[in-house]
Amino acid sequence: MDTTTASIAVLKVSPVNNAGKLLALADVSILLDGVEIVIHGIQVRADAGGTEVTLPKYRSPSGAWVTAVTLPDEVRGPMGDAVMAAAIEAGILVEKHR
């Protein structure tokens, strides 16, 4: 199986001012073999259990929320790390010191 290098860049991370778990929305560019894919609406969410980055969702005809984009773990993990770093840099999140 051939491998390729993916380049990930956070284009924008914007705070969401509400009282819920959603803290920010991000737009990310993923470059694969010279083809750019831009994903809008990546969510930064937090609750008492921690902070997470989730891919955009839509409501299906059944009413359930479904992930709009499926990425392999090899891309999703580094993308989430980049979004978290951008949210910290923007002052939306505070880095947890261990």
Q: What domain count does the chain have?
A: 1
- Judge whether 1 lies within some domain: no
Nearest to 25 by CA among 46, 8, 40, 36: 40
pLDDT, tens digit, for every residue of 33-66?
A: 899 999 999 999 998 888 999 999 999 999 999 9
* CATH classification at residue 73: 3.30.1120.40
pLDDT at 1: 66
The answer to whether residue 97 is domain-embedded is no
The reply to whether the predicted model has a pTM over 0.75 is yes
Q: Is residue 22 part of a domain?
A: yes
Task: Tell me whether residue 95 is in a domain.
Answer: no
Amino acid at 57: K
26 located within any domain? yes
Least confident of 2-11, 32-41, 55-64, 73-82: 2-11
Domain contains 94 = no
Domain enclosing residue 11, as ranges? 6-89
Whether 42 contacts 83, CB under 8 Å: yes
Q: What is the pLDDT of residue 98?
A: 65
Q: Tell me the percentage of the chain whose pLDDT exceeds 90.
A: 78
